[in-house]
């Protein structure tokens, strides 16, 4: 059973004063200030229904089908709340793989050859990035769409090409290895050798590929990917399960220097999306390795999430925010829901019942108020934020959309 904390009463009383826009009798879960921060919540938390899932995929097909791309040149990124147009990036942007991955999920669901053709076209340009050394996000950019393509594309030749691109991308990513820090370099932060919690989603590519190819090279890839995740578990996860966002290290000695501010409120705060990346990535890494320390990290980061975000709610963009009008981040909730569903699959039903909690999160994320069902926005999920310290405006972004579709596709 999911315990509904006191906040439920707050949600209900405030939203009942709002305007009901949904076809159901439920009141609109618009911004709900709690004592110190802001969230969006379902007035009556409930698991996602089959009808909601169907409606969400219909919306996704309508919105995604209307987006114009030209293969390798245009990669949808996101759109501010009421903007009718996507902003795009080139292939080397960290988000370039998510739209292709959304296309693969639509193909998986419908088996419609038009989605296959579109997914192939969008993935083709990304495969060329497999040798790109300028990003630590090759797992997102190449690993995601080629991983889906290798499983879903009916052509054995295409499958082989995707598998080859994944091997090359893993080799490229592994060049970032520092044996003293026992991690893959993310970037320079504050002019120093830096690691970011988001890398929990990218390092598993090395483990996946290493396990697939085997031999001494495969073993080395598995070793590097696993050690990277263990370094994150050791240096980013606090005793209460919350996480740091970015850390600097001394690349000569391997010594940890300390936190560097990034997309969170401060260097020491807990950025909501970072927490979601952590719980999702640690769960996947545990699934791949069976490593007990990674299971512990997955359990702690997941437990922190569910202790801070009431069931059927999305959080403000940072868990340490003290502002009842703070921007929210529904993408953190969709990434967390996907990770928690995988946690249920991998770890099994536990007392915490993270899967049931995730189903209730999806009950919120698929309500028409949370989506672009009544909006000109070209994306799917609203109330996402990118980088609040730079721009507090909410919008719809491809990573939040992808993880929502993925969570709804989970078996």
Q: Which residue number is nearest to ligand GLY in terms of Cβ?
A: 198
Identity of the residue, 94 or 223, whose beta carbon is nearer to ligand GLY in the bound complex: 94
Identity of the residue, 259 or 368, whose beta carbon is nearer to ligand GLY in the bound complex: 259
Identity of the residue, 165 or 388, whose beta carbon is nearer to ligand GLY in the bound complex: 388
User: Is-contact 27 13, C-beta < 8 A?
Assistant: no
Site string for ligand GLY, 104-143 (x = CB under 6 A): ----------------------------------------
Burial class (CB in 10 A: 0-12, 13-18, 19+), 108: middle
Identity of the residue, 263 or 269, whose beta carbon is nearer to ligand GLY in the bound complex: 263
Q: Which of 102, 198, 394, 401 binds ligand GLY (CB under 6 A)?
A: 198
Distance CA 71, CA 97 (A): 12
Identity of the residue, 185 or 273, whose beta carbon is nearer to ligand GLY in the bound complex: 273
Task: With H, G, I as helix, E, B as strand and everything else as coil, classify residue 376.
Answer: coil
**CB 329 → ligand GLY: shortest distance, Å?**
10
**CB 6 → ligand GLY: shortest distance, Å?**
31
Identity of the residue, 31 or 273, whose beta carbon is nearer to ligand GLY in the bound complex: 273
DSSP state of 191: T
User: Is-contact 189 197, C-beta < 8 A?
Assistant: no
Identity of the residue, 228 or 273, whose beta carbon is nearer to ligand GLY in the bound complex: 273
Q: Say how many residues touch ligand GLY, by CB under 6 A.
A: 4
Q: Which of 8, 31, 224, 273 binds ligand GLY (CB under 6 A)?
A: 273
Asked if 94 interacts with ligand GLY (CB under 6 A), we say yes
**CB 21 → ligand GLY: shortest distance, Å?**
30
Site string for ligand GLY, 154-193 (x = CB under 6 A): ----------------------------------------
Asked if 224 interacts with ligand GLY (CB under 6 A), we say no
**CB 281 → ligand GLY: shortest distance, Å?**
11
Distance CA 406, CA 385 (A): 19
Task: With H, G, I as helix, E, B as strand and everything else as coil, classify residue 19.
Answer: coil
**CB 13 → ligand GLY: shortest distance, Å?**
34
User: Is-contact 109 409, C-beta < 8 A?
Assistant: yes
Which tokens go with 57?
A: 């995929």
One DSSP character per residue, 28-57 reads P--EEE-SSSEEEE-SS--PPPHHHHHHHH
**CB 252 → ligand GLY: shortest distance, Å?**
27
Identity of the residue, 37 or 263, whose beta carbon is nearer to ligand GLY in the bound complex: 263
Asked if 328 interacts with ligand GLY (CB under 6 A), we say no
Cβ within 8 Å of residue 239, ≥6 positions away:
none
Distance CA 366, CA 371 (A): 7
Identity of the residue, 118 or 335, whose beta carbon is nearer to ligand GLY in the bound complex: 335
Distance CA 334, CA 23 (A): 23
Identity of the residue, 48 or 365, whose beta carbon is nearer to ligand GLY in the bound complex: 365
CB atoms within 10 A of CB 131: 13
Residue count of the chain, please give it: 411
Q: Which of residues 346-375 bind ligand GLY (CB under 6 A)?
A: none
Helices marked H in 69-143: 96-110, 113-127, 138
**CB 331 → ligand GLY: shortest distance, Å?**
8
**CB 377 → ligand GLY: shortest distance, Å?**
19
**CB 89 → ligand GLY: shortest distance, Å?**
12
Q: How crowded is the C-beta side of 70, counted as CA atoms within 13 Å?
A: 4
Distance CA 252, CA 316 (A): 38
Burial class (CB in 10 A: 0-12, 13-18, 19+), 216: exposed
Q: Which of residues 229-268 bind ligand GLY (CB under 6 A)?
A: 263
Identity of the residue, 178 or 263, whose beta carbon is nearer to ligand GLY in the bound complex: 263
Task: With H, G, I as helix, E, B as strand and everything else as coil, classify residue 95.
Answer: coil
Task: With H, G, I as helix, E, B as strand and everything else as coil, classify residue 111.
Answer: coil
User: Is-contact 47 363, C-beta < 8 A?
Assistant: yes
Distance CA 124, CA 118 (A): 10
Q: Which residues bind ligand GLY (CB under 6 A)?
A: 94, 198, 263, 273
């Amino acid at each position: 059973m999911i315990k509904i904390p006191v906040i439920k009463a707050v949600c209900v009383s405030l939203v009942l004063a709002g305007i009901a826009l949904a076809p159901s009798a439920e009141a609109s879960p618009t911004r709900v200030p709690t004592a110190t921060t802001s969230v969006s919540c379902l007035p009556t938390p409930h698991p996602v229904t089959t009808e909601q899932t169907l409606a969400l995929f219909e919306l996704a097909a309508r919105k995604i089908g209307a987006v114009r791309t030209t293969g390798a040149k245009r990669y949808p990124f996101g759109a501010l709340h009421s903007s009718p147009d996507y902003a795009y990036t080139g292939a080397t942007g960290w988000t370039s793989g998510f739209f292709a991955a959304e296309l693969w999920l639509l193909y998986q669901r419908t088996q419609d050859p038009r989605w296959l053709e579109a997914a192939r076209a969008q993935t083709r340009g990304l495969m060329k990035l497999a040798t790109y050394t300028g990003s630590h996000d090759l797992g997102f950019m190449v690993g995601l769409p080629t991983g889906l393509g290798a499983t879903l594309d009916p052509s054995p030749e295409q499958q082989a090409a995707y598998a080859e691109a994944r091997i090359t991308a893993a080799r490229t990513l592994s060049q970032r290895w520092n044996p003293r820090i026992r991690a893959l370099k993310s970037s320079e932060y504050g002019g120093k050798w830096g690691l970011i919690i988001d890398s929990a989603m990218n390092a598993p590519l090395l483990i996946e590929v290493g396990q697939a190819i085997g031999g001494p090279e495969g073993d080395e890839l598995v070793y590097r990917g696993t050690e990277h995740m263990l370094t994150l578990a050791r240096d980013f996860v606090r005793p209460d399960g919350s996480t740091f966002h970015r850390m600097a290290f001394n690349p000569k000695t391997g010594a940890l220097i300390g936190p560097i501010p990034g997309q969170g409120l401060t260097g020491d705060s807990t950025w909501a999306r970072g927490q979601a990346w952590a719980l999702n990535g640690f769960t996947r890494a545990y699934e791949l390795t069976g490593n007990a320390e990674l299971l512990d990290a997955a359990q702690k980061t997941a437990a922190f999430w569910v202790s801070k975000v009431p069931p059927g709610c999305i959080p403000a963009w940072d868990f340490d925010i003290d502002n009842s009008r703070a921007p929210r981040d529904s993408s953190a909730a969709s990434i967390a829901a996907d990770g928690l569903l995988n946690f249920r699959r991998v770890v099994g039903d536990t007392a915490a019942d993270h899967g049931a909690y995730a189903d209730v999160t999806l009950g919120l994320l698929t309500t028409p108020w949370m989506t672009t069902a009544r909006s000109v926005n070209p994306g799917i999920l609203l109330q996402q934020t990118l980088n609040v310290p730079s721009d507090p405006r909410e919008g719809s972004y491809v990573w939040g959309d992808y993880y929502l579709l993925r969570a709804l596709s989970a078996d």
